[in-house]
A and B are shown apart, each in its own frame.
Chain A
Amino acid sequence: MTPPNTSERGSERLWRTALTPRWLAALLALIVLVAAFIILGRWQWDRTQDILAAERSAAAAPVDLADLVDDQGSWNNADIGRRVNLQGTFTGDELLLANRELDGQAGVWVVTRFELDGGQTVAVVRGWLPDDASPSPLSRQSVKIQGVLHPDEEFYEGANATRVVTVDSAALADAWGEDVIDGYVMLGGDQGDAARGVPVLVPPTVQVGDVAFPLQNFFYAIQWWVFALFAVVVYARWLYLDAKK
């Protein structure tokens, strides 16, 4: 342990050194530098947030299904959960998939064949109905509907061997005798008059995955703040060395 006298003198000397014009000027420079570093860090932090917000709104904005699907009816896994617009016609081919509960009530899912104006066919889940109800008929006019893109349901192999029980584009293609776009669209959002009817909309089971975090800008923000901290350490260390002389 150092005697109190010595340490007191040490801190006194430190203060006296710190208050000399030279070190006050250094302190001023330090304050300016640290303020600048903090502001620069804030700027990168705000950019991080802006990029995130822009990515999220881009991911949430609906896109035309036709733009996501290739000629073979495939689409990118990254688009699972995307909100999609469909322009086309309900053909009237409809399947009721059994054993679908909604809020604890037994019922069916109404899966309808939808022909896009471009010619491709996609399965649209119009919604849920209680077991004893039947879906309302749809007009054959071209309509614009909106929904959420889902992958094929794959509960277990051979599930649809005797009759279709899952929303599976391959099984539906067999049932309808036509190629069907992979996966299905769960009707939702603004669907237009034609599709509004008896089936109760089912909440989409897949959500939009989160977007890529702009790690680079985040790191830049942290680095600026590290520089600010560093400047303080360097100032303190120099002051200490100078006072000790």
Chain B
Amino acid sequence: MEKLPGALLRFRVMAYVTGVGLAVLTVWLVIGYGFLDYANTEVKPDLYRWLWTAHGWLYVVYLVAGVDLCFRIKLSVIRTLAVLLAGTIPFMSFVADYQLHKYVRTRGLGPSEQTSDSP
């Protein structure tokens, strides 16, 4: 499959960026609303709001990268939806990235398989 390494890398970057971002923001959310009275909008810092907004746009990019990759490796509809939704659950985007790489490797679609095994 043409240009697969690029698609894999793009998805990996977005999976890690949105994954780390979502994890950090989720922890921040729990602390903020649990202990710092963020329900009071006066208290909620602007940085916190802006990071959520940024995360929203990054998730859009994650979707594009994810769909692109899933189309390229002809993943089933259900699995593709699972990959896309993984971006909304903390840490699941890492799992999705791992599973996708495994999927590519075991089916011999990946570049790593070919370069290491081919004479």
Measured CB to CB, the residues of A under 8 A from B are 26, 215-216, 219-220, 223, 226-227, 230, 234, 237-238, 241
Contact = CB atoms under 8 A, between A and B. Distances in A.
A230 B63 contact: yes
Interface of B: 49-50, 52-53, 56-57, 59-60, 63-64, 67, 71, 74, 77, 80
Nearest to B84: A234
29 contacts: A26-B77, A215-B53, A216-B49, A216-B50, A216-B52, A216-B53, A219-B53, A219-B56, A219-B57, A220-B53, A220-B56, A223-B56, A223-B57, A223-B59, A223-B60, A226-B60, A227-B60, A227-B63, A230-B60, A230-B63, A230-B64, A230-B67, A234-B67, A234-B80, A237-B67, A237-B71, A238-B77, A241-B71, A241-B74
Nearest to B54: A219
Contacts of B74: 241
A26 B81 CA distance: 12
A26 B59 CA distance: 23
A234 B69 CA distance: 12
A230 to B, nearest CB: 6
A230 B71 CA distance: 14
Given A216-B53, A241-B71, 10 more contacts: A216-B50, A219-B56, A223-B57, A227-B60, A230-B60, A230-B63, A230-B67, A234-B80, A237-B67, A241-B74
